[in-house]
C-alpha cells in the first residue's frame, strides 16, 4: 500500500488588522490638519484668525504636520512590504493611552473637523457680534494698555484704534473738539443711539479671533442712518465734537463726508 504524502498547505495571506487602519487614520488626520493650516496661510485667511505675531507658529505647525505625516506614511509603507507586517500589527498594544473615546474616534473627529475647515472660509466678525460683545470707546482694564502713549500722527491720519488709544490716555472729549477725523470701519446701529447716529467700528485682535473685541466712535449724520446698512464699510470724514448719548458724554464725529469702501483684506486692528 502506497502512502501518498499530504500536500503541504500553503499559508494564506491574512488581512492586516484594525491597528493598520487606525495608523492610516492617524496619518490622514495629521496630514489634513497640515494642509488646512497651509491653505489658510496661502489664501490670506489666517489674518482673520490670528494676530500677525503668531502666524509663524501656525505656518510652522502646518509644515511640521505635513512632514510628520509623510514620515509616518513612508514608515507604514516599509512595514507593510515586509513579510512580518502581519505580526507587527498584531503585536501592537490594544490601548496605548487612556482615552474617553473608543480607539480611532479621536483621530476620526480631528479628521472630520479638518475636512470641514477645508470646505469653510473664515469670515471676519460683523455688527451682530460687536453688539453682543459691546462696543466701547475705551480699552478695558483687562486688555493690554500702553504705559504711555504719544500720538505722532496728525488727527486726520488717526485710525479708529488710534483715537481710542488717545482717549484712553486722556479721556476728556472736549480736548479734541474741532480736530479733523478721517477713519475707516464698518457700520453698527446701536439701539440706544438716535436714528441720526451710527457707530463706526473696528475689531481689535490681541492673540486670536477668540479674544477680539470691538471699539468704535459715534458718528452724527445729517439724515437717517438707514441710508447706511449695518456691516457696510465706510470712510468717514468730519470734525470732532462732544455729544451726550445715553446719559454719557462721548467724543463724536460730525460727519461731513461718508464714502462706501470695500472691506479691507485684513479687517482687524492691533
Q: Per-residue pLDDT tens for 206-219?
A: 888 778 888 999 99
**Which has the minimum average pLDDT: 19-23, 27-31, 88-92, 106-110?**
88-92
- The CA distance from 120 to 127, in Å, is 21
**Out of 87-91, 125-129, 244-248, which region has the weakest mean confidence (pLDDT)?**
87-91
Largest CA distance in the chain: 122
pLDDT by residue (tens digit) across 181-204? Answer: 999 999 999 888 999 999 999 988
Per-residue DSSP letter, 4:
P
pLDDT exceeds cutoff 90 at 169: no
d(CA 190, CA 232): 14
Contact 243, 219 (CB under 8 A): no
Lookup: cell for 170 = 486722556
Q: Which cell numbers in the block locate residue 87?
A: 505580526
| Residue 5 confidence (pLDDT) | 55
Amino acid at each position: 500500500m502506497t502512502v501518498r504524502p499530504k500536500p503541504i498547505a500553503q499559508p494564506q495571506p491574512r488581512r492586516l488588522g484594525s491597528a493598520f487602519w487606525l495608523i492610516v487614520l492617524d496619518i490622514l488626520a495629521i496630514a489634513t490638519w497640515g494642509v488646512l493650516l497651509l491653505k489658510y496661510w496661502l489664501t490670506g485667511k489666517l489674518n482673520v484668525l490670528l494676530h500677525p505675531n503668531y502666524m509663524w507658529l501656525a505656518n510652522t505647525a502646518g509644515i511640521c504636520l505635513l512632514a510628520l505625516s509623510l514620515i509616518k506614511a513612508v514608515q507604514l509603507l516599509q512595514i507593510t512590504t515586509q513579510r512580518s507586517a502581519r505580526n507587527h500589527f498584531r503585536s501592537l498594544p490594544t490601548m496605548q493611552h487612556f482615552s474617553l473615546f473608543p480607539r480611532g474616534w479621536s483621530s476620526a473627529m480631528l479628521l472630520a473637523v479638518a475636512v470641514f475647515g477645508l470646505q469653510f472660509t473664515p469670515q471676519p466678525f460683523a455688527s451682530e457680534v460687536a453688539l453682543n460683545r459691546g462696543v466701547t470707546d475705551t480699552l478695558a482694564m483687562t486688555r493690554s494698555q500702553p504705559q504711555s502713549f504719544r500720538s505722532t500722527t496728525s488727527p486726520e491720519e488717526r485710525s479708529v484704534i488710534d483715537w481710542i488709544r488717545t482717549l484712553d490716555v486722556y479721556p476728556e472729549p472736549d480736548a479734541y473738539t474741532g480736530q479733523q477725523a478721517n477713519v475707516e470701519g464698518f457700520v453698527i446701529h446701536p439701539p440706544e443711539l438716535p436714528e441720526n447716529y451710527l457707530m463706526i467700528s473696528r475689531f481689535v485682535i490681541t492673540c486670536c479671533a477668540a479674544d477680539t473685541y470691538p471699539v468704535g466712535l459715534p458718528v452724527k449724520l445729517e439724515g437717517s442712518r438707514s441710508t447706511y446698512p449695518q456691516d457696510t464699510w465706510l470712510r468717514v470724514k468730519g470734525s470732532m465734537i462732544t455729544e451726550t448719548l445715553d446719559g454719557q458724554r462721548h467724543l463724536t464725529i460730525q460727519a461731513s463726508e461718508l464714502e462706501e469702501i470695500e472691506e479691507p483684506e485684513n479687517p482687524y486692528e492691533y
